[in-house]
Structures are given as C-alpha cells and as structure tokens.
C-alpha cells in the first residue's frame, strides 16, 4: 500500500552526511504538488519522512493513483533516464522531508557509486514488480476484499489517507468506497 525503501534512504542519508554529490534537504507541507504531470523538472527526490501520492490525471481531471510513496521512495528518476516530461504528478499527503539531487548529480552518483546504482536498479525493479499483482488483484476481487487487504497492510489506512485517494487507488468512486466501508463495519458488528 505505502511503498517504502529503508535501505535506499539509509544509504542516501549516509551520502548526505558526507556532504558529497550535492544532495540537499527540502521540506513540503501537506497537499503540496511537488511535480505535475507533463512538465519538466531537473531534480530527483527521495522521501525521508512522510507520505506522498503518485498519480496520473485524465483529461476530465479524474486521478488514478499509481502508488503511495513513503520513506525511501524516489520520484523523478524516470525522467533522468528518458529526458522526457513527467508521467505522473506527485503530491504530499502529509508533511514531507526529502532529499533532492539534480539530474546531473544523480547521473554522477549512478556512474561513480556502484552501491547507489544497484539500489536504484533494485528500486526500479520493485516498482515494476509491484504494479502487476496489485492491478490484477484489484480487478479480480470485490471492493470489500481490496479494502480488507489494504487495511491488513496498513491498519490506519482511513485515518491517514483521504477516502477520495483510497477510492482512486483501488479504482472506484468515493461513494462506492463509503458503501463498502459501511457494509464491512456492519458485518464486523462495530
């Protein structure tokens, strides 16, 4: 549900403490759009603290949430490799503390630091590996099953993430989500 990568953030923290590679600290308040779809940015970000959502908006403004990003998750790295406009928007859900590095600095790290390079390759592979099972599960099972699965992975789901975002993540309307949550509550007798 909320993707994390403790190994990558710990290693980046070590690089930051060494003062190398022009890695900077930045902070964003909740509900701050850090990247906007179809724009060009020159930084890669790595979350130190907080939660953000990565999403695509269609022409009608409907959001499809790709994933929720937590500690250690990077964003903006695909644009380093493709040199194209951003695919997704990224917006903070909670206040965020991030590391940022320019595209040039990121390239330099990839070339000169084999351990960092392997961590990034692993992170990219994990992003790909995670998507297919998530999408197939969401399409194969009813809303209630998806909610139960998410709550098992992230018990404080509805306390931290807005219902609209949860609905967009599992591909349903907020109304359908509320109905399913009500039915689950009634079934559990709570």
pLDDT tens column, 133-178: 776 666 677 888 888 888 887 777 778 888 888 888 888 888 988 8
Cβ 30 vs Cβ 97: under 8 Å = no
Percent of the chain with pLDDT over 90: 53
Which of the pair, 55 or 132, is modelled with greater confidence?
55
Residue 121 has pLDDT above 90, yes or no: yes
pLDDT tens column, 10-51: 999 999 999 978 999 999 999 999 999 999 999 999 999 999
**Angle between the N-to-C axes of helices 103-112 and 114-140, in degrees from 0 to 180, rounded to the nearest 10:** 110
- State the maximum Cα–Cα separation within the chain, in Å, rounded to a whole number: 58
Which of the pair, 134 or 74, is modelled with greater confidence?
74
What is the phi/psi pair of residue 46, to 5°?
-135, 125
Cβ 64 vs Cβ 3: under 8 Å = no
pLDDT tens column, 39-50: 999 999 999 999
Name the burial class of residue 138, with classes exposed (0-12), middle (13-18) and buried (19+) by CB atoms within 10 angstroms of its CB: middle
Q: What is the pTM of this model?
A: 0.85
pLDDT tens column, 76-95: 999 998 889 999 999 999 99
Q: DSSP of 16-77, one letter per residue? A: HHHT-TT-EEEEE-TT-EEE-TT----EEEEEEES-EEEEEE-TTS-EEEEEEE-TT-EESH
The two tokens of residue 125 are 């592979």
Least confident of 101-105, 107-111, 122-126, 149-153: 149-153
Tell me, what's the pLDDT at 140?
72
């Amino acid at each position: 549900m909320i993707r994390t990568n403790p190994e990558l953030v710990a290693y980046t923290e070590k690089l930051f403490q060494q003062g190398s590679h022009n890695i900077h600290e930045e902070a964003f308040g909740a509900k701050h759009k850090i990247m906007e779809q179809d724009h060009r940015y020159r930084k890669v970000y790595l979350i130190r603290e907080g939660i953000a959502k990565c999403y695509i908006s269609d022409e009608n403004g409907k959001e499809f949430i790709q994933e929720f990003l937590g500690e250690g998750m990077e964003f903006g790295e695909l644009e380093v490799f493709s040199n194209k406009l951003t695919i997704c928007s990224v917006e903070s859900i909670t206040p965020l503390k991030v590391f940022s590095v320019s595209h040039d600095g990121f390239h330099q790290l990839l070339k000169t630091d084999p351990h960092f390079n392997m961590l990034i390759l692993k992170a990219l592979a994990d992003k790909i590996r995670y998507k297919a099972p998530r999408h197939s599960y969401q399409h194969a099972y009813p809303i209630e099953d998806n909610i139960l699965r998410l709550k098992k992975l992230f018990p404080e789901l509805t306390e931290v993430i807005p219902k609209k975002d949860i609905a967009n993540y599992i591909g349903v309307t907020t109304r359908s989500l509320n109905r399913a949550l009500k039915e689950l509550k009634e079934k559990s007798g709570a």
